[in-house]
Amino acid sequence: MHALANPARFLRLARPLTTWSLLIGVTLALIGVAAGLFFTPPDYLQGETVRILYIHVPAAWLGMAGWLGIAGASVSQIVWRHPLAAIAGRAVAPAGATFAAICLITGSIWGRPTWGTWWEWDGRLTSMLILFFMYLGYIALGSAERERGGERRIAAIYGLVGAINLPIIHYSVLWWRTLHQGQSITVTGSSIDNSLLWPLPLTMIGFTCLFTAVALMRMRAELAETKVEARMRRLSA
């Protein structure tokens, strides 16, 4: 991690990694979604609506993983004062917010024919909605800190405190009676039939690679903008 503290060294690694992540992500996501739409059978209970899981499940995972990345960047900023930590947190936040929003939207679409309602204030849905608003708050704090010209720690502390919501989201279906179904996939196996399950790893990996590519592109863009701003200041001095 400390080897990447040098921006030039980080950029040498980030450029090819961005390209490969984007290519792999687009390829696997398209193959997985197409396979889920056209090459899997309808569910015996939910029918055709079950196909939304190929987008909903990766979106839920990345919505939570994005905040886990923010928390990791916050630790690096507060404890080790990593020079790229705040930039990484700001880069991850919009992608995490986007996937959290996709999770909420697809969950609502899935819930309408399954539960008979677009929305229910149960533990899983409510805590995921809170996570989305937390992303918006982090984006606002990060932008304000950057405009003030310093890497203050308010956004980092907020990122750490907000991580408390992650186990709440994960265990909400166990802690409270809820419309949302329990975990279908665990370390010991899956309750989803293999005829429906096989495209899901493709979309999981594909969307994760796309998430990585977007975060890297945003980090590279901010580093380039910072370099331009520093050069302009030198020229105006």
Query: Residue 47: inside a domain, yes or no?
Result: no
- Please report, for residues 21, 148, 227, the alpha-carbon distance to residue 9 in angstroms, rounded to integers and kept in the order given: 18, 26, 15
Does any domain span residue 4?
A: no
Give per-residue pLDDT as tens, 162-202. 999 999 998 887 777 777 776 766 666 677 888 889 999 99
**Residue 108: inside a domain, yes or no?**
yes
- Segment 211-230 shows an average pLDDT of 89
Alpha helices in the chain (DSSP H): 7-38, 53-75, 85-115, 123-147, 154-162, 165-175, 194-197, 200-236
pTM above 0.85, yes or no: yes
The average confidence (pLDDT) of the chain is 89
How many domains, in total, are found in the chain? 1
Question: In which domain, by residue range, is 90 found?
Answer: 55-182+197-230
- In angstroms, the CA 82 to CA 74 distance is 9
| Domain contains 97 | yes
Size of the chain in residues: 237
In a domain, 169, yes or no: yes
Q: Do residues 209 and 25 lie in contact, with contact meaning Cβ atoms separated by under 8 Å?
A: yes
Residue 156 domain-assigned (yes or no): yes
Q: Judge whether 167 lies within some domain.
A: yes
- In a domain, residue 16? The reply is no
